[in-house]
């Protein structure tokens, strides 16, 4: 096979920029600056090795930290015509093994990260330019990818405990990128942040907003993204994207000083709800910035709705004090439904259109996520499981429809409890969940003077008695996953370990 004969939209976008701007800087990682020409050459070397050693396109895993070698390998896998399967070297060994087997990976390309004995016999290419060597024999006997035209395959958490593979095809990516490149107006002198994990699909937005536009992709060093304002200013970032939790942490530690990000043009938040208070703090720090709250499950290709706030424009107030998720992207259709699939003002969000995936890698997992023919409809709709309400400002995300739990004989809406908790003076953020049949809430505060009685009395003013958490735990920060979402597993472990500690003491260590 000729190298790149089956390359897709992602490589072609990068290649077009490399031809148009060969000496422009494509990537900055720490002190390294890599031009488009150099990055294309390194990617071509990886592609050649993949094609020669693995004898044809298939699913190829990418495993590495955010190094220049990893980004070259990312592009090289795409150039080879293989389906990219990003995995994280910090994942538990069992999750790595599950993903590699489920994807039918025929090889792994790495930046030298130690994979140990996760899947013995699987060939691994060390893609560092000074190495560029394989370990392990050629092995093309892996289970063939069921969606051979997929550009990438991301894995999300599954209800069965096994990761679910989400293949995204070229036409779905083309629909998103055509919109995003125009919407966010990156240019050759733009500097685009790369905060998201490569295993989380918003990272595709980072990489190919930059590389479709001849811009520079800039990777924050170490933990710089946890204090974004100083780094954004020093790195002269023009286009920022991250989970809302990054901005929330910065607000919590008072590092979003007014006017501290004067050159920032866009601040895009994806992956979780963006609180109005957090958005306003970000806007004060970046007065010239257009703040965008974007929404979209992995199954709908990065994001499918967005709400934009122009500089100086007032942010609308919503029932849960979050920024609206707004209106659909071009080519996307939305439907808000009740339990019977009929249209409603408040209900589950269904998504249709060009960006919706065709189904999970494991076909047995797909039937329940689509609403084919529901309510007499002919179109295929993806059921997001997210609860929204239609407003004059577009959709507002209210939480998951499966966040209603039973405590004793009562049904409790966890999102309602969290909204009430965040509405108390002095409380910054909070998460509510069930542990051993008891309702628990973990929260953060502006200072350490809040007493448990204050929390209980405040919640009692708006919630029925059965909705007031049995366990209250104050912490410095809510734990989050690598994708920037609240880590529910970590919360449960935290509460089980410290449930007997009074709320006023739990955040002191």
**Residue 320, number of CB atoms within 10 A of its CB:** 18
**How would residue 5 be classed by pLDDT, with cut points 50, 70 and 90?**
very low
Average model confidence (pLDDT) for the chain?
Answer: 88
**How would residue 506 be classed by pLDDT, with cut points 50, 70 and 90?**
very low
The model's pLDDT over 276-307, given as tens digits with 9 standing for 90+, comes to 999 999 999 999 999 999 999 999 999 999 99
The answer to whether 474 and 503 have CB atoms below 8 angstroms apart is yes
Report the sign of the C-alpha dihedral through residues 453, 458, 464, 470, in that order.
negative
pLDDT computed for residue 381 by the predictor: 94
The answer to whether 497 and 465 have CB atoms below 8 angstroms apart is no
**How would residue 257 be classed by pLDDT, with cut points 50, 70 and 90?**
very high
Cα–Cα dist 130/437, whole Å: 56
The model's pLDDT over 358-390, given as tens digits with 9 standing for 90+, comes to 999 988 887 788 886 655 565 789 999 999 999
Task: Delineate the domains of the chain, giving CATH numbers in brackets.
Answer: 9-145 (3.40.50.980), 168-401 (3.40.50.12780), 408-506 (3.30.300.30)
Paired residues of 107 in beta bridges: 60
The model's pLDDT over 34-84, given as tens digits with 9 standing for 90+, comes to 999 999 999 999 999 999 888 666 899 999 999 999 999 999 999 999 999
Cα–Cα dist 61/165, whole Å: 13
pLDDT computed for residue 375 by the predictor: 55
Percent of the chain clearing pLDDT 90 (strictly above): 62
Structure tokens at 284: 């004060």
For the segment 334-355, the average pLDDT, to the nearest whole number, is 94
């Amino acid at each position: 096979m000729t190298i790149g004969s089956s390359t897709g939209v992602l490589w072609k976008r990068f290649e077009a920029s490399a031809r148009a701007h060969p000496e422009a800087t494509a990537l900055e990682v720490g002190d390294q600056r890599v031009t488009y020409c150099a990055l294309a050459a390194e990617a071509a070397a990886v592609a050649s090795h993949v094609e020669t050693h693995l004898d044809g396109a298939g699913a190829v895993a990418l495993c590495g930290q955010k190094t220049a070698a990893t980004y070259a390998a990312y592009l090289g896998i795409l150039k080879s015509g293989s389906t990219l399967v990003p995995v994280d070297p910090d994942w538990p060994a069992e999750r790595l093994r599950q993903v590699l087997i489920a994807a039918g990976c025929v090889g792994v390309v790495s930046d030298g990260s130690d994979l140990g004995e996760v899947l013995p016999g699987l060939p691994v290419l060390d893609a560092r330019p000074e190495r560029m060597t394989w370990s392990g024999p050629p092995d093309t006997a892996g289970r063939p990818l069921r969606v051979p035209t997929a550009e990438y395959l991301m894995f999300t958490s599954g209800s069965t405990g096994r990761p679910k593979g989400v293949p995204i095809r070229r036409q779905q990516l083309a629909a998103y990128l055509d919109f995003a490149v125009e919407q966010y107006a990156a240019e050759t002198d733009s500097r685009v942040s790369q905060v998201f994990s490569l295993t989380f699909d918003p990272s595709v937005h980072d990489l190919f907003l930059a590389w479709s536009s001849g811009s520079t992709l800039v990777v924050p060093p170490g933990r710089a993204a946890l204090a974004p304002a100083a780094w954004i200013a020093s790195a002269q970032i023009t286009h920022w994207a991250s989970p809302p939790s990054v901005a929330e942490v910065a607000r919590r530690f008072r590092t979003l000083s007014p006017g501290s990000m004067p050159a920032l043009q866009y601040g895009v938040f994806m992956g979780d709800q963006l609180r109005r208070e957090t958005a306003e703090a970000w806007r004060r720090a970046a007065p010239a910035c257009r703040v965008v709250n974007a929404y979209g499950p992995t199954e709908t290709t990065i994001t499918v709705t967005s709400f934009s706030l122009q500089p100086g424009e007032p942010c609308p107030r919503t029932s849960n004090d979050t920024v609206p998720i707004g209106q659909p992207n071009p080519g996307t259709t939305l439907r808000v439904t009740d339990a019977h699939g009929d249209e409603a003002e408040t209900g589950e969000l269904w998504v249709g259109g060009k960006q919706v995936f065709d189904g999970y890698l494991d076909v047995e997992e797909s039937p329940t996520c689509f609403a084919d023919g529901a309510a007499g409809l002919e179109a295929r709709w993806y059921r997001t499981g997210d609860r929204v309400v239609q407003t004059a400002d577009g959709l507002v995300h209210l939480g998951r429809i499966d966040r209603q739990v039973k405590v004793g004989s009562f049904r409790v809406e966890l999102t309602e409890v969290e909204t009430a908790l965040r509405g108390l003076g002095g409380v910054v953020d909070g998460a509510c969940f069930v542990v051993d049949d008891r309702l628990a809430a973990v929260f953060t505060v502006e200072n350490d003077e809040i007493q448990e009685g204050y929390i209980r009395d405040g919640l009692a003013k708006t919630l029925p008695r059965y909705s007031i958490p049995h366990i209250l735990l104050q912490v410095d920060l809510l734990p989050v996953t690598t994708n920037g979402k609240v880590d529910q597993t970590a919360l449960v472990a935290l509460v089980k370990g410290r449930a007997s500690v009074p709320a006023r003491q739990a955040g002191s260590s």
